[in-house]
Amino acid sequence: MRWRLWAAGLLALAACKQPAAEKKIALLLPESKTARYETQDWPAFRDRLVALGMRPQDILYSNANQDVGQQRQQAEAALTNGAVVLVLDPVDSVAAAGIVELAHARGVAVIAYDRLIRDTAHLSAYISFDNERVGQLQGEALLGMLGDKVQPAVVFIHGSPTDNNASLFKKGARAALLGKVTVAGEYDTPDWSPDKARDQMQQALTARGNKVDGVYAANDGTAGGAIAALKAAGVTPLPPVTGQDAELAAIQRILLGEQSLTIYKAIRPEAQLAAELAFALRNTQGPLTHAALTSRTHNGAAAVPSALLTPVVVTRANVKDTVVKDGFWKAADICTPELAEACKAAGIQ
């Protein structure tokens, strides 16, 4: 027993004496089917840490490709490789509590990024958006686009059932739409798969003889799948379709009139804030403090200090004044030759 206590003491002392230059931060993202993670979150996170003075080789990155077991292995590898802070966007919001407990046992802090991690009292912070409000904004905007139709038929294509955010989007959207529309089909979409969303949309169209007035799609990937099914079925004109994440393909579909809206979440500020909090945890002891942590979110075990950023509805009318103005997408990215006329009509040059 004395030997074990002595060994544990040596490990703790070694951790305390670890040079700051060798203290690593790991970003663990959940999947790559949603384009934002590789194109926005990871680069913004990495670049902010480099700007704060970290060496690129001390910033670890993994993407779990929607595999719970793989994400656990990636977390274990990050801990083995010297990570003192994990920034974790979970594949499964409940299963990820095991990663938090593993990190906590090793004295490593964890920040829940974009998706809340459930049922653990050992999170240092949670950074995301008001995700129930995201669903409300989508539903309210869709309702406005349906005009004065009485009980219009709407297909609901929600997100992954293992994603805590998906349940919040769903709650907000249903609150905005139920009682005001006819549910023409309602589906959860495993893995946020566009292909599965396309199949679900086709199922709804077959059941209703292609008579659908609108589509609530929880994100841009599922929106793309739904629109592919609508076009394959020869539905014209296309009904209003929602989305989320302001993916490049979605912005282009909006300008072409194929998708009605997306939700722009300022992902770069979110990733940059996560980097700043992780950097602070890397270099200090004790509870995390930051001006952005203005609220608390209960995860079933504790009230987690939280920073919840504000989402914005993007339609063809304000693409220029939102995602282009903020530099989220450059006009050159959006305005391919096929989009030249649509961009000109939207004032994007």
How many angstroms separate the Cα of 63 from the Cα of each of 72, 76, 90, 185, 236?
A: 11, 13, 10, 32, 38
DSSP string, 198-232: HHHHHHHHHHTTT--SEEEESSHHHHHHHHHHHHH
Structure tokens at 270: 């979110």
Residue 159 CA to residue 245 CA, distance in Å, equals 13
Residue 60 CA to residue 77 CA, distance in Å, equals 10
The pLDDT value recorded for residue 7 is 39
What are the backbone dihedrals phi and psi of residue 83, each rounded to the nearest 5 degrees, phi first?
A: -70, 130
The pLDDT value recorded for residue 330 is 94
Pairing of strands 312-314, 262-264: antiparallel
The pLDDT value recorded for residue 131 is 93
What are the backbone dihedrals phi and psi of residue 234, each rounded to the nearest 5 degrees, phi first?
A: 75, 25
Residue 341 CA to residue 349 CA, distance in Å, equals 10
3-state secondary structure of 76: helix
Cβ atoms of residues 30 and 96 within 8 Å: no
Question: To which CATH superfamily is domain 20-129+266-309 assigned?
Answer: Response regulator (3.40.50.2300)
The pLDDT value recorded for residue 35 is 84
Q: Same CATH topology for 20-129+266-309 and 131-265+313-345?
A: yes
Q: Which pTM was predicted?
A: 0.80
DSSP string, 258-319: SS--EEE--HHHHHHHHHHHHHHHHH--SS---TT--EEEE-SS-EEEEEEEPPEEE-GGGT
Question: To which CATH superfamily is domain 131-265+313-345 assigned?
Answer: Response regulator (3.40.50.2300)
3-state secondary structure of 246: coil
Sequence-distant (6+) residues with CB within 8 A of 292 are 273, 277, 307
DSSP string, 84-151: EEEEE--SSTTTTHHHHHHHHHTT-EEEEESSPPPS-S--SEEEEE-HHHHHHHHHHHHHHHTTT-SS
What parts of the chain have a pLDDT lower than 50? Answer: 1-17
Compute the Cα dihedral for 337, 340, 341, 346 and give only its sign: positive
Q: Using one digit for the tens of pLDDT, what is the confidence trace for 147-160? A: 999 999 999 999 99
Side-chain half-sphere of 199: how many Cα atoms within 13 Å?
A: 8
The pLDDT value recorded for residue 80 is 97
Pairing of strands 125-129, 109-113: parallel
Shortest CA distance to 186 belongs to which of 200, 205, 167, 202?
200
The pLDDT value recorded for residue 315 is 98
Amino acid at 174: R
Residue 196 CA to residue 329 CA, distance in Å, equals 27
The pLDDT value recorded for residue 233 is 98
3-state secondary structure of 61: strand
Q: How many residues does the chain have?
A: 349
User: What are the residue ranges spanned by the domains of the chain?
Assistant: 20-129+266-309, 131-265+313-345
